[in-house]
Amino acid sequence: MTNKEDHEYFGKHSESNRAKYSDGFYKLQEKLHEMRWFCGWAVGPDQREGWTDIGELQMDDPTIEDSKILFNHEQCIEVEDPIYSGNFSDEIIDKWESFLSFEVNYDYQDSKIDEFLKEFGLENPWRGREWGSVPYYNPDEVPGSTFYFGDAQELEKILPVIEECGCTWKWDKTQETAIEIFWN
């Protein structure tokens, strides 16, 4: 990451996105950024890698406090795989996995995926999506997400801020469980 100020992890968005998503998650992300919280979207492919990515960001920006971290990862917001979500044989699933591994090599190529899925009468739900390790939804496409955090006591302090930003939450207020935040 070369310019952290432009990265979505830190609540910076283009003017068109800022106007389009003035409520919900982006409002919360911006407010938390002002409060010196790290609030990230799609940080790493899974929770472990998300924490690793945040650790690397902290080396570049030591003002990111361990206790003031809130993020989700790609698996929390993954776009459903069109083959796995259907009733396809193991043979077709194996062919799909081989195709993704060797043909696409996780370098997203709409036309190749379109062609493969067309053979099975499917449309490409991943067309034009952002990819990390998997294609994932943006905040305006989902009603909420699971988020991981640094410190339960600090998170409890910002629950009113979450609500002020038009969001709701579900959490048992313990360090052991993630919080679910909803904005639509």
Average pLDDT over residues 81-92: 82
Percent of the chain residues topping a pLDDT of 70:
82
Classify burial at 41, counting beta carbons within 10 Å of its beta carbon; exposed 0-12, middle 13-18, buried 19 or more: buried
Considering the domain architecture, whether residues 141 and 60 belong to the same structural domain is answered as yes
Assess whether 10 and 51 both reside in one domain: yes
Q: Averaged over 37-44, what is the pLDDT? A: 93
- Report d(CA 91, CA 99) in Å as an integer: 12
Task: Output the pLDDT for position 122.
Answer: 85
- pLDDT at 6 (0 to 100): 40
Domain total for the chain?
2
Full-model pTM: 0.76
Predicted local distance difference test score (pLDDT) of residue 107: 53
The DSSP 8-state label assigned to residue 5 in this structure reads G
Q: Which residue range is the domain that position 16 belongs to?
A: 4-76+136-182
In this prediction, residue 157 carries a pLDDT of 97
> How do strand 38-40 and strand 69-71 relate by DSSP bridges?
parallel
What does the longest C-alpha to C-alpha distance in the chain come to? 52
- Let me know if residue 21 belongs to a domain: yes
In the chain, the DSSP E strands lie at: 38-40, 69-71, 144-149, 168-170, 179-182
Same domain? 20 vs 64: yes
- Indicate if the pLDDT at residue 47 is higher than 90: yes
Q: What is the pLDDT of residues 110-154, one digit of tens each?
A: 778 888 888 888 888 877 776 667 788 888 888 999 999 999 999
**Domain co-membership, 27 together with 111:** no
- Between residues 140 and 180, the one the model is more confident about: 180
Residues 147, 102 share a domain: no
When mean pLDDT is compared over 13-17, 53-57, 100-104, the highest value belongs to: 53-57
Question: Which helix H or strand E contains 159, and what residues bound it?
Answer: helix 159-164
Percent of the chain past pLDDT 90, that is, above it, reads 46
Average pLDDT over all residues of the chain: 82
Identify the pLDDT of residue 140.
84
Q: Do residues 110 and 37 both lie within one domain?
A: no
Domain match, 88 and 58 both: no
